[in-house]
Amino acid sequence: MEKALAYQKYDYKFVGGTGGHSGVHGGVILPESLRWLWRGWDQEKS
């Protein structure tokens, strides 16, 4: 998935972990993920 996103030049951030798709990993990275997702939302567009 990461290579496909990079190939299409998407703005993404890959955060790997252990244990596959689980709520544990998602819960740990959720706060930082939301900060990254919403970065710059209040900046004026030019």
Give the model's pLDDT for residue 22: 80
The b/e string for 16-44 (b: 16+ C-beta within 10 A; e otherwise) is eeeeeeeeeeeeeeeeeeeeeeeeeeeee
Give the model's pLDDT for residue 24: 87
If we measure between CA atoms, which residue out of 15, 11, 14 comes closest to residue 40?
Answer: 11
Give the model's pLDDT for residue 37: 92
Give the model's pLDDT for residue 35: 94
If we measure between CA atoms, which residue out of 22, 21, 29 comes closest to residue 13?
Answer: 29
pLDDT digits (tens, 9 = 90+) for 6-44: 999 999 998 888 877 788 888 889 999 999 999 988 887
Cα 32 from Cα 11, distance rounded (Å): 16
46 pLDDT tier (thresholds 50, 70, 90):
low
